[in-house]
Amino acid sequence: MNPIARPEPRPSDALIDVQALNKQFTLHQQGGQLINALEGINLQVSPGECVALQGASGSGKSTLLRSLYANYLVDGGHVRIRGAADAPFLDLSQAQPREILQARRQIIGYVSQFLRVIPRVSAEQVVAEPLQARGISEADSLKRARKMLERLNLPATLWTLAPGTFSGGEQQRVNIARGFIVDYPILLLDEPTASLDARNREVVLELMKEAKQRGSALLGIFHDEATRDAIADRVVEIRQGRIV
C-alpha cells in the first residue's frame, strides 16, 4: 500500500478509512458552475461499529456514501476500504473499475432508498443476484433469497414477479433484502427504514444488529431517530460538506 500521511491517529482496525476527502461537482451545463460537496472529510469505521451521518438535506451525507461506493468520483484525498482488519486496503480513488466491482461483490454493500428495476427480472432473482455473483448456485441463492423476503414480510405471491409494479415500500424491502443477503464486511445504508411500517423497521433493525455482531462496519443515514438511537454507536454531523 502507498504510505499515507496521517494527520491524526486512527484506530488501526478500521475497515473504512476516509482521509481528507474532497468532492466537487462542475456543472458544465450551467456555465461550469462549481459546487464543493465535500471538503476535508476524515472518517474511520471499525468492525462491529455503526456510524450515523447526520445533517440537513444537501449537507453532503449521501454524497459521502456514494463516494464510499465509488459511485461518485473522488477528487482529492483517499477513500480506503477493506474486508477485514488484517487485509490490505483498496483505495477507491485509484482503483480500476474491475477492482471496484470485485469489492462491491465481496466487501461493500449498499442499501439505498430506491430500487433500480431491471425489466423482466423477478424479485427473488433481484435478491439472489449478489449471491450468484459470488459463485453460489442458483438453487441455493434462490432459497436464501426467499427466506430473506419472507423475513421482510413480502407476500410470497410477489416473489416471482418483477418489482416494477410493486409499491414503494415493497420495492424498498426487495432492495433491503438484496443488501443484506450477503454478509458484507462493510454496509452503506441510505435511509434503510424510511417508508417502512413499524414491523418491518424492526426487522431491518435486527438485520443491522446481526451485521454488527458479525463484525461488519456500518455507515448510514438514518432519517428516523428511534432507529438511529437503537443502532448507531457514534453520530457524525455534516454541515455544508464538512464534518463538525
Partner 1 sequence: MNAIISAPGQQQGQPPGASGDTLPLLEVHQLSHLHAPGKGCENVSFELYPGEVMGVVGESGSGKTTLLHTLAGNLPPQSGYIHYRDRQGDVLNLQSLSEGEQMRLLRTDWGFIHQNPRDGLRLRASAGANIGERLMAQGERHFGRLREAGRKWLDAVEIPLSRIDDQPRTFSGGMQQRLQIARNLVSEPRLLFMDEPTGGLDVSVQARLLDLLRRLVVSLDLSVIIVTHDLAVARLLADRLMVMKEGQVVESGLTDQILDDPQHPYTQLLVSSVLTP
25 makes contact with partner 1 (CB under 8 A) = yes
118 makes contact with partner 1 (CB under 8 A) = yes
Site for partner 1 in 33-92 (CB under 8 A): 66, 70-73
Q: Which of 1, 9, 28, 213 binds partner 1 (CB under 8 A)?
A: 28
Only segment of 3-11, 22-30, 207-215, 224-232 that touches partner 1 (CB under 8 A)? 22-30
27 makes contact with partner 1 (CB under 8 A) = yes
| CB contact at 8 A, 58 and 43 | no
Tell me which H or E stretch contains 127.
helix 123-133
Instruction: Provide the grid cell at 236.
Output: 457524525
Q: Closest approach of Cβ 139 to partner 1, in Å? A: 14
Instruction: Provide the grid cell at 109.
Output: 454493500
* Closest CA relative to residue 171, chosen from 189, 203, 202, 194: 194
Rounded CA gap, 163 and 136, in Å?
Answer: 23
Dump the DSSP string for 14-81: -SEEEEEEEEEEEEGGGTTEEEEEEEEEEEEE-TT-EEEEE--TTSSHHHHHHHHTTSS---EEEEEE
Instruction: Provide the grid cell at 29.
Output: 451545463
Q: Which of 121, 161, 226, 235 binds partner 1 (CB under 8 A)?
A: 121
Q: Which of 2, 12, 29, 213 binds partner 1 (CB under 8 A)?
A: 29
167 makes contact with partner 1 (CB under 8 A) = no
Q: Closest approach of Cβ 226 to partner 1, in Å? A: 31
Q: Which of 7, 26, 229, 233 binds partner 1 (CB under 8 A)?
A: 26
Contact set with partner 1 (CB under 8 A): 25-29, 66, 70-73, 97-98, 100-101, 118-121, 132-133
